[in-house]
Structure 1
Amino acid sequence: MIQRVLIPTDFTVNSLRIVLEYLENSNHQQVELVLTCGYNLGESIGMLLGFTVDDYLAEMQNEDFLKGCEMIKSRFKDRVVEMYSDLMISRNKRYVHNYLKGGQFAQIVLPNIFEFNYTTNCFDIVELMKTSQLSGMPEIISVSMSDEKLQAQDTLDSFFFRKKWRFTYE
């Protein structure tokens, strides 16, 4: 059975460490990963009418982040069925409940210690998930992010070559 898993992100390569820690330390089940960022639309009617998730995601995701996602999918191709990004556009309790229920998430992965580098208009969904007391809330999985030396680096080489992985190029 494939489980859908919500993982918070700020669309930096560094935030993909959460994905790696989860995949390296979880059981060998197949998962669909949804990398989610909180985004505040504001109250302008123009913003609300012209909003499309794809446009905002195209602006927020840089090339290194997308390459990092592809490398993770390639490394864990037997476990990661799908991996994509999404935006949570409100902190409202009912919206969050409906977002989680509609997304049919089985798990939410939250780092114990991690400094997200949010852009303007973004908000922290980690704190939102920790403080939300919703009925039918998915299982919360905590991942340990203790490698402090690597926390401040946001480059692909330091991220993927921190471990002695063997890469083959086909």
Structure 2
Amino acid sequence: MIQRVLIPTDFTVNSLRIALEYLESSKNEQVELVLTGGYNLGESISMLLGFTLDDHLAELQDEDFLKACEMIKSRFKNKVVEMYADFMISKNKRYVSNYLKGRQFARIVLPDAFEFKHTKNSFDIVDMFNNVQLSDMPEVITVSMGEGKLKGQDTLDGFFFRKKWRLSYE
């Protein structure tokens, strides 16, 4: 059975280390990774009516981020069945509960330490999950990022190629 897993992201290559830590330490099971960032729509009616996921993702996902996602899928092709990005658009407890239930997440992966980059419209979903109390919360897994792993790996080449992976692009 394929497990759907929420991975928090700020749409930088560096934030994909959370997914890597999870995949490297998890069992050999097939997963669908949903890279989720917090995005505050505001209260403008034009923003609410004109919101499209694809438009906002195109603004936030740069070429290096998309290449890094492809490399992760290639490296873990036996584990990662699907990998895509999404937004949580509210911190409201009811919204969060409905978001998790509606998308049928089996797990939420949270880093023990990570500093997300924020834009004016983004919010930290890790902080939100640490502070919200839900009765029907999926299993929460904490991955250790380690102090040494947090420094100097903010570019695509520094992040992946120094790991000496043998990659095939399919």
Bin for the TM-score computed over the shorter chain: over 0.9
Q: Indicate the SS of the match to 1:161.
A: helix
* Cα separation, 1, equivalents of 2:149 and 2:133: 34
1:60 aligns with 2:35: no
Gaps of 5+ in 2: none
Deviations 1:2-47 (A, max 9, x none): 0000000000000010110000000011000000000000001111
What displacement does 1:112 show? 0.2
Give the distance between the partners of 1:169 and 1:23, measured in 2 at CA.
19
1:91 equivalent in structure 2: 91
For the Cα contact (< 8 Å) 1:150–1:158, is it kept in 2? no
Q: CA RMSD in A?
A: 1.4
The whole-number CA distance in structure 2 between the counterparts of 1:151 and 1:122 is: 23
- Report the CA distance between 1:135 and its aligned residue: 1.4
Q: Is the 8 A contact 1:14 1:151 kept in 2?
A: no
Is the alpha carbon distance of 1:95 and 1:165 closer, same or farther for their aligned partners in structure 2, counting shifts above 3 Å? same
Distance 1:29 1:66, change over 3 A: same
When the two structures are aligned, how many residues end up with a matched partner?
170
8 Å CA contact 1:13–1:64 kept in 2: the answer is yes
SS in structure 1 at match of 2:162: coil
Residue in 2 that maps onto 1:124 = 124
Q: Is the 8 A contact 1:36 1:87 kept in 2?
A: yes
State the TM-score, normalizing by the size of structure 1: 0.95
1:120 positional shift: 1.5
Q: What does 1:3-152 correspond to in 2, within 5 Å?
A: 3-148=3-148, 150-152=150-152
Secondary structure at the aligned position of 2:101 is classed as: helix
SS in 1 for 2:38: strand
- Gaps of at least 5 residues in structure 1 are none
The whole-number CA distance in structure 2 between the counterparts of 1:73 and 1:67 is 10
- Output the CA distance in 2 between the equivalents of 1:168 and 1:138: 33
Any conservation in 1 of the 2:90–2:96 contact (CA below 8 Å)? yes
Give the direction of change, closer, same or farther, for the CA distance of 1:74–1:167 in structure 2 (3 Å limit). Answer: closer
- 1:138 counterpart letter in structure 2: P
Partners of 1:149 and 1:16 in 2: CA distance: 12
My pick for the range that moved more, 121-130 or 153-162, is 153-162
CA distance in 2, matches of 1:169, 1:5: 24
Distance verdict in 2 for CA 1:169–1:57, change over 3 Å: closer
Cα offsets for 1:54-98 (capped at 9, x unmatched) = 110111100000000000000101110000000000000000000
**TM-score, normalization by structure 2:** 0.95
